[in-house]
């Protein structure tokens, strides 16, 4: 049957992650959009995509998804706004983070939309840099002992892993490079 990956489909880069995970799985699994809380428990991995973090946070609560995500035993792949939601703590009181990854996140760390940029990021475990797209991106200002830094830029930590969970400040679903989606899939059995 293969791996089952869900992409939280409340707001943000949903279709881009679905396509990236389908490519990364290469026919050895299933990818679906997740819109209801009862769809979460049967997954092996859940992507929380980039988008607008305050909006996604409100929609998670409005759709009764907070508890199912907090209790989820599979891996979480959190990108951009997803990194904000997956954090233990966030610098914005409007966001109640899910606490999935032991990081403290500074939202919109690089500024507003016009300060968006692209750069190559050296990621632990990849032989060559990953070309990353940063759009109103966060950074992890603190990384707890349960998380491992995978990549940084001058402003701070932009990629972390904690057991089977992974959080990225940028948008790996843009640009056609699925190495980080593949890395996430490889670590779905981790327990630490």
Q: What is the CATH number of domain 3-186?
A: 3.40.50.880
| Sign of the alpha-carbon dihedral angle for 102, 147, 18, 70 | negative
pLDDT above 70 coverage of the chain, percent: 97
Distance CA 150, CA 74 (A): 20
**CA quadruple 95, 96, 99, 104: dihedral positive or negative?**
positive
| Residues 6+ positions from 162 with CB-CB distance below 8 Å | 100, 101, 102, 146, 147, 148, 192
- The per-residue pLDDT for 148 is 96
CA distance linking residue 78 with residue 73, whole number of Å = 15
The question of whether 80 is a catalytic residue gets the answer yes
Tell me what the mean pLDDT of segment 37-63 comes to. 94
- Residue with the bigger pLDDT between 69 and 191: it is 69
Condensed to tens digits (0 to 9), the pLDDT of residues 108-136 reads: 888 777 778 899 999 999 999 999 999 98
The whole-number pLDDT of residue 55 equals 92
171 as an active site residue: the answer is yes
Task: Give the model's pLDDT for residue 116.
Answer: 85
Q: Give the active site residue among 57, 80, 181, 187.
A: 80
Q: What is the pLDDT of residues 55-90, one digit of tens each?
A: 999 999 999 999 999 999 999 999 999 999 999 999
Q: Is 131 a catalytic residue?
A: no
141: its two tokens: 């200002």
* Of 24 and 192, the one with more pLDDT: 24
The pLDDT value given to residue 190: 57
Among the listed residues 16, 39, 106, 173, the single catalytic one is 173
Q: What is the pLDDT of residue 191?
A: 53
pLDDT at residue 111 in the model: 78
C-alpha span between 46 and 56 (Å, rounded): 14
Residue 28 has what DSSP assignment? S
Q: Which helix (H) or strand (E) holds 69?
A: helix 66-70
Is pLDDT above 70 for 189? no
DSSP 123-179: -TT-SS-EEEEESS--EEEEE-TT-EEEEEETTEEEEEEETTEEEESS-TTSSS--H
Output the average pLDDT for the chain: 93
- Say yes or no to pLDDT of 18 above 90: yes
């Amino acid at each position: 049957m293969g791996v089952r990956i869900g992409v939280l489909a409340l707001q943000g880069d949903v279709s881009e992650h679905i396509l990236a995970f389908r490519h990364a799985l290469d026919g050895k699994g299933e990818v679906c959009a997740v819109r209801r809380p009862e769809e979460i428990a049967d997954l092996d991995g859940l992507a929380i995509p980039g988008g607008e973090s305050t909006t996604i946070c409100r929609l998670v609560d409005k759709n009764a998804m907070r508890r199912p995500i907090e209790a989820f035993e599979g891996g979480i792949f959190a990108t951009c706004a997803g990194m904000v939601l997956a954090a233990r703590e966030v610098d914005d009181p409007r966001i109640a983070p899910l606490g999935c990854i032991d990081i403290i996140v500074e939202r919109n760390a690089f500024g507003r939309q016009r300060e968006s940029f692209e750069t190559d990021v050296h990621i632990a475990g990849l032989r060559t840099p990953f070309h990353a797209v940063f759009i109103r991106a966060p950074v992890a200002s603190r990384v707890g002992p349960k998380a491992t830094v995978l990549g940084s830029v001058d402003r701070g930590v932009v990629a972390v892993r904690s057991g089977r969970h992974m959080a990225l400040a940028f948008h790996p679903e843009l640009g056609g490079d699925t190495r980080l989606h593949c890395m996430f899939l490889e670590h779905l059995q981790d327990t630490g």
